[in-house]
Amino acid sequence: MKKKELIGIAVFVVFCLNALSCFASAGHGHNEPKKVGILLVAFGSSEASAQVSFENIGQKVKKAYPDIPARWAYTSHIIREKLAKQGKYLDSPEVALAKMLDEKFTHVAVQSLHTIGGAEYHDLRKTVGAYKIMGGFQKIILGYPLMSTQKDMEKTVDAILKTLPKDRQKNEAVVLMGHGTHHPSNAFYAALMFQLQLKDPNIFVGTVEGYPEVGLIKELMLKKNIRKAYLVPFMSVAGDHAKNDMAGDEEDSWKSVFTKAGIQCIPVLKGTAEYDPFVDIWVGHINGPLSHFQ
Ligand code: CO
């Protein structure tokens, strides 16, 4: 095909896409009054302690952006089903956005409460992308998860150092348990450990489902003659992974693996969303999308 023909086709495609988006946004014209909203999106949790941290996040968002209504969505189907049986109905991001469209929001900042930009974050990106193509909102933008930029990494390191278990001595380890993923963003965990160890060489970061694995963390601690370790979830909520994979009594739990290697373990069952220094990072990220709504 000749270059001229290609350009002709490209122009035609762009014309069609424009026509489509005009059609899709019929009834949501740009003359509608501007209505800005926030959608907070978490994986979700059915734990009572998690509800407290989500409420804390909600209050912080209200304080930071008092004039902007915020809605919630949980990505986990299983958790939404579990909560529905208790009479608590939470929306998926797709449904929550449809409702916001119905409420005539024109600009939506979708804020991920994920830890890294992994598989779930990218699923959320797809949902936001679909609403962009559909054209109902004038603007819909997704905010970064906890760790995205180098600045975020530094803030996260600070948040971890600020929230270390109080009784911990410098020669004792703190082992953070991240979720881990097959997604390329899994590299954030090892990067975090590197940056933490520049400040405190006895802090380790492992993951349940990715790299670094528990066996490697054990080796690293043994090399340093560590005899005692605080096990801390590096997940927004201290849910199933924290209770069972980290602090459980089964043979393959982190507590069992380390104890067997002669390292005394003290599990701390609190998620990052329970601590203000982490919540502040997420809440601050809403500024990203909002700054494009001026
Ligand atoms: Co999991």
Question: Do 137 and 39 form a contact (C-beta atoms < 8 A)?
Answer: no
Element (H, E) at 175: strand 173-178
Position 214 in a domain: yes
pTM above 0.85, yes or no: yes
Same domain for 192 and 104, yes or no, is no
Q: How far is the CA of 75 from the centre of ligand 1 (A)?
A: 13
Same domain for 78 and 213, yes or no, is no
| Residue 82 token pair | 């579990």
Position 158 in a domain: no
Position 222 in a domain: yes
User: In percent, how much of the chain has pLDDT > 70?
Assistant: 90
Does residue 77 register a pLDDT over 60? yes
* Number of domains composing the chain: 2
Same domain for 169 and 51, yes or no, is no
Same domain for 31 and 169, yes or no, is no
Q: Which residue carries 């899994």 as its tokens?
A: 186
Model confidence at 32, pLDDT cuts 50, 70, 90, reads confident
Position 131 in a domain: yes
Q: How far is the CA of 271 from the centre of ligand 1 (A)?
A: 14
The whole-number pLDDT of residue 30 equals 60
d(CA 106, CA 34): 6
Same domain for 25 and 127, yes or no, is yes
Question: Do 131 and 97 form a contact (C-beta atoms < 8 A)?
Answer: yes
DSSP-derived secondary structure letter, 112: E
Residue of 227 and 17 predicted with greater confidence: 227
Position 157 in a domain: no
Position 156 in a domain: no
Q: How far is the CA of 143 from the centre of ligand 1 (A)?
A: 22
Q: How far is the CA of 28 from the centre of ligand 1 (A)?
A: 39
Model confidence at 29, pLDDT cuts 50, 70, 90, reads low
Does residue 15 register a pLDDT over 70? no
Question: What's CA 19's distance to the chain center, in Å?
Answer: 36
Q: Which residue carries 């096990």 as its tokens?
A: 231
Same domain for 267 and 280, yes or no, is no
Phi-psi region of 227 (alpha: psi -120 to 50; beta: other; left: phi over 0): alpha
Same domain for 142 and 280, yes or no, is yes
Residue of 165 and 27 predicted with greater confidence: 165
Active site residue 292: no
The whole-number pLDDT of residue 47 equals 81
What's the CATH number where 83 sits? 3.40.50.1400
Position 152 in a domain: no
In which order are the strands placed within the sheet that holds 264-267?
A: 203-207, 173-178, 228-233, 264-267
| Residue 273 token pair | 């969303």
Same domain for 115 and 142, yes or no, is yes
Bond preceding residue 233 cis, omega within 30 of 0: no
Same domain for 232 and 120, yes or no, is no
Same domain for 132 and 168, yes or no, is no
- Per-residue pLDDT, averaged over 61-74, amounts to 97
Same domain for 128 and 181, yes or no, is no
Same domain for 222 and 281, yes or no, is no
Q: Where are the beta strands (DSSP E) in the chain?
A: 36-42, 70-74, 107-112, 139-143, 173-178, 203-207, 228-233, 264-267
Residue of 24 and 101 predicted with greater confidence: 101
Q: How far is the CA of 157 from the centre of ligand 1 (A)?
A: 23
Position 154 in a domain: no
For 15, list phi and psi in degrees, rounded to 5: -60, -45
Does residue 233 register a pLDDT over 70? yes
Q: In this structure, how many other beta carbons lie within 10 angstroms of the beta carbon of residue 224?
A: 13
| Helix pair 187-197, 150-162: axis angle to 10 deg | 60
Name the residue range of residue 178's domain: 164-271
User: In percent, how much of the chain has pLDDT > 90?
Assistant: 83
Q: In this structure, how many other beta carbons lie within 10 angstroms of the beta carbon of residue 169?
A: 7
Selecting among 179, 183, 285, 292, the annotated active-site residue is 179
For 36, list phi and psi in degrees, rounded to 5: -95, 140
